[in-house]
């Protein structure tokens, strides 16, 4: 991978642990009133609504291109459903507004900050996320993520995995696909990037890749008979791999 000049990162689930971050805020928010509520399930359903909507819009359907607006619509739908309607009366408008921005306050995986700092010494590091611009900026400040550039699909009027998202990011970096690597914990993201000629790097994160779980797919590197270029368990591992691949004198 000595040809890689830019590492382009998916964010939700790849860089930050959305599940534990959202659940922790939900538990604090309503600890006294709803002790027996399954907040893991609530968070999963909120996230699932986001995934369904972004993929639908990426395929050409209409809908909000700002994820804050999308998250709020999904939150209201959840609270009006029979399963969660008992929660709705506990949260006034101010509380709902604050909770909706929990996605701006997600914590990084344990290796994220150290790994990104190491990778930043070897290549451009940028986001390519379906999260909106302000969300990604707030998240970077909250979690200490040292991006060189923040690309949001909001800037390109689409969502991943629409090819336009990847092509626009590479265009603005003035790099061809062979000099760019997509880093993600989701096989759908890497399949889209790989189809455009980008190097594909899969990061294993616990319980994150819904598509791989549903298909019972063990994601492997091409050298091991799989479909991606590299599989790692952390950003620090990736930094070590890139350091070994760098030409002599560039480490």
pLDDT tens digits along 175-214: 999 999 999 999 999 999 999 999 999 999 999 988 888 7
Nearest to 211 by CA among 10, 4, 8, 6: 10
CA torsion sign, 82 to 88 to 50 to 14?
negative
Which of the four pLDDT bands, split at 50, 70 and 90, describes residue 250?
low
pTM: 0.94
How far apart, in whole angstroms, are the C-alpha atoms of residue 71 and residue 224? Answer: 38
Strand 149-152 with 124-129, pairing: parallel
Contact 184, 10 (CB under 8 A): yes
Tokens of 115: 């790994």
Residue pLDDT, tens place only, 71-123 = 999 999 999 999 999 899 989 999 999 999 999 999 999 999 999 999 999 99
């Amino acid at each position: 991978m000595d040809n890689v000049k830019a590492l382009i990162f998916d964010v939700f689930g790849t860089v930050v642990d959305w599940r534990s971050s959202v659940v922790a805020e939900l538990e604090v928010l309503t600890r006294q009133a709803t002790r027996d509520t399954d907040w893991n399930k609530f968070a999963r359903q909120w996230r699932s609504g986001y995934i369904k909507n972004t993929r639908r819009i990426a395929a050409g359907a209409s809908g909000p291109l700002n994820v804050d607006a999308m998250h709020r619509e999904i939150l209201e739908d959840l609270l009006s459903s029979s399963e969660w309607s008992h929660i709705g009366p506990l949260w006034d408008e101010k509380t709902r507004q604050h909770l909706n921005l929990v996605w701006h306050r997600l914590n990084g995986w344990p290796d994220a900050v150290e790994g990104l700092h190491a990778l930043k010494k070897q290549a451009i590091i940028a986001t390519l996320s379906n999260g909106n611009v302000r969300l990604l900026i707030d998240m970077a400040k909250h979690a200490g993520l040292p991006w060189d550039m923040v690309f949001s699909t909001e800037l390109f009027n689409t969502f991943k995995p629409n090819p336009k998202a990847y092509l626009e990011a590479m265009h603005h970096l003035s790099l061809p696909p062979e000099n760019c690597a997509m880093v993600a914990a989701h096989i759908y993201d890497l399949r889209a990037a790989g189809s455009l000629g980008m190097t594909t790097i899969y990061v294993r994160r616990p319980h994150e890749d819904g598509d791989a779980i549903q298909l019972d797919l063990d994601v492997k590197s091409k050298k091991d008979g799989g479909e991606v270029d590299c599989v790692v368990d952390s950003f620090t591992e990736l930094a070590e791999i890139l350091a070994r691949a760098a030409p002599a004198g560039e480490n």
